[in-house]
Chains A and B, each alone.
Chain A
Amino acid sequence: MGPGTINTDILTALPEVLLAAGAMGLLLLGAFRPGNVVSTVNWGAAVLLAIAGLAVLTGTTGNVTAFSGAFIVDDFARLLKILALAGTVGALVLSVRFMQIEKIVRFEYSVLLVLAALGMMMMISANDLISLYMGLELQSLALYVVAAIDRNSTRASEAGLKYFVLGALSSGMLLYGCSLIYGFTGSTNFETIARALEGQGMQLGVLFGIVFLLAGLAFKVSAVPFHMWTPDVYEGAPTPVTAFFASAPKIAAMAMFVRVMYGAFPGMSEQWQQIVVFVAIASMGLGAFAAIGQTNIKRLMAYSSIGHMGFALVGLAAGTVGGVRGVIVYLMIYLAMTIGTFACIVSMRRRDGMVEDITDLAGLGRSRPMMALTMAILMFSLAGIPPLAGFFAKFYVFLAAIEAGLYPLAVLGVLASVVGCYYYLRIIKIMYFDEAGAEFEPMARELKLVLGVTAVFVVGFFAYPGPFVAAAGTAAAALF
């Protein structure tokens, strides 16, 4: 490898290089500049993420691999990276004021978000089991720390510790799977693995590896039966951190999930499809039923996100271009709905502090009509009621499942989504028809902006779905 190739390699990974260098720059700025630098670092992080997004958009075109095939940039990677960066910026915007009010002002917070974003981009671009693991671990480590960033709160520390221990366990399973796959195929590169397995039919050893790999991946997208950490971590972590957990990392993990399955194991799709179908059904079912009894809105959102990951996995199980397109559209819409809903949850603040119970929303329809209206729109969309965006998200994945002949999966999915309607509609009922409690503090300006943008997207999606679906379509086609 000469000096020429390393230069092109670095250019291919320019967004990642920019983020890494920028994160270190911000860290130095925060550590050495005297006085209060938190807001400077926050701004710097937002600008850095925007620059990285721009670099993703204007950088390479087509299908490029770099670093001896460990890193790949294609339309799929570009689109999903933009989504992950958007989710990170959204979470950063939700955090700024919250952190000031709750006195968790630390400049490391936004640096860690940037490093987590770097990990996510590496996960999305991973084309090798080693680079996949490195990206995953970079992102996860940053998330463990961010979960416990409010170190004076026992709940947050517990959440961080629980996430760390279970995350380490899942990483272990993932690595075990990787080593089995490497042992049976002789390579860690996705394309080489796919070539080694071509025309060999089912291989028991590789299947074992895939099962362990899937266990690790399912943990990262919090799919049943590896979902146990989700409600506790979501409840314990500070609310904007929960918003972050529910948005960008889910997108990156799902992207990685899709790429591993289609990149490395297209020849064994019959085998892994069965597992993905089971995981999807279990996640949708648990997401629908377990959320019914929740009283804390963050726990409810945790179960909701488990259910939504189940719906997205339906698209993956379909095993077609249409299915992957469905997954991508689902992730786009899920991102907008999640960030919007959390903008509302972050605003659930009375004079004496944050409240998190669903019943605290009572009477919001009268006290804050605009917030209640947008929240209601987002809830309808999460429930999947037409003509809002959430309906189209489900429509595309179920369409793909039916086209692939997975009728039971599609039927069970629709049933789970009907059950799920109950708790979303219950929130709307509480907001509009229950006896009002004390009023919330007014919503911050940047939260209004985030809420407005996401609500417009959710409402307006049915009018202009074309560009989004087309972008998802080209991204999905890049994998086949």
Chain B
Amino acid sequence: MTLAALFFYLFSAVLLAAGFMVISARNPVHSVLYLILAFFNAAALFVLLGAEFVAMILVIVYVGAVAVLFLFVVMMLDIDIAEMREGMLQYLPVGAAIGIVLLIELILVLGGWAVSPGAGSVLASPAPTDGLSNTEALGRVLYTDYIYVFQAAGMVLLVAMIGAIVLTLHHKPHVKRQSIGKQVARDPATAVENRNVKPGQGI
């Protein structure tokens, strides 16, 4: 128990430090690397909670795909971070004041936090107790109870894809494109034309 608590504090502390470094690092590439560190620590926290499926997904999806994508974008766009920082100092006092007010309010609210005694009985999908791994358990609720929102999420992604294509894909009319289908479908009958060229004249 104490070992778990020790690791919890270790991972949480590193997570918070890494999160802070993401926004304060001078070099954007370092920011992304700290972000990856933050993801790893969050994944470790999930493992401590016994949610190994979510932990692995976090590593695979966020570290493996999203963060690497960020890294590419950051390197390709060559963002001038010093320029972006100029505004930050200017807005810092206002932003910090609002943040502190919100924080105090939230502490006031969460101070009154009490888990209602009946809350356990209304849980939609309680953690499985019959030796089911949590990948299976998630799969079961995802494809039965939550099939509707699962499909809805699919539709949202479809719209995002259509949107990206509609807004960015330009068909330039004067660009010559290779069409393998057309090339393969060519035969002498369509590709070769016989012309009767009269002597002394061109075509």
Contacts and interface: CB of A to CB of B under 8 A. Distances in A.
Most buried by A among B105, B112, B147: B147
B159 A186 contact: no
Interface in B137-159: 144-149, 151-153, 155-156, 158-159
A196 B122 contact: yes
B91 interface: no
Interface stretch (A145-153, A345-353, A388-396, A436-444): A145-153
A134 to B, nearest CB: 4
Interface residues of A, number: 49
A195 B119 CA distance: 11
A-side interface mostly: helix
Given A138-B155, A187-B124, A205 B160 contact: no
Given A13-B148, A130-B149, A118 B163 contact: no
B96 interface: no
A135 B109 contact: no
Interface in B84-115: 105-106, 108-110, 112-113, 115
Contacts, number: 102
Contacts of B159: 112, 115, 138, 141-142, 145
Given A108-B162, A115-B155, A138-B159, A187 B112 contact: no
A111 B166 CA distance: 11
A408 B112 CA distance: 34
Contact of A186 (B108, B122, B148): B122
Contacts of B149: 70, 128, 130-131, 134
Contact of A145 (B105, B118, B144, B162): B162
A134 B156 contact: yes
Contacts of B146: 68, 70, 130
Most buried by A among B105, B146, B162: B162
Contact of B167 (A24, A115, A145): A145
Contacts of A128: 149
A205 B110 contact: yes
Nearest to A206: B109
A186 B124 CA distance: 9
A138 B152 CA distance: 8
B116 interface: yes
A188 B122 contact: no
Given A118-B155, A186-B122, A186-B123, A68 B145 contact: yes
A355 interface: no
A369 B9 CA distance: 77
B166 A131 contact: no
Contacts of A195: 122
A229 interface: no
6 contacts: A6-B147, A131-B152, A134-B153, A137-B156, A145-B159, A149-B166
Interface of B: 105-106, 108-110, 112-113, 115-116, 118-120, 122-124, 144-149, 151-153, 155-156, 158-160, 162-163, 165-167
Interface of A: 1, 6, 9, 13, 20, 24, 27, 66-68, 70-71, 106, 108, 111-112, 115, 118-119, 122, 128, 130-131, 134-135, 137-138, 141-142, 144-145, 148-149, 151, 160, 183-189, 192, 195-196, 200, 204-205, 208
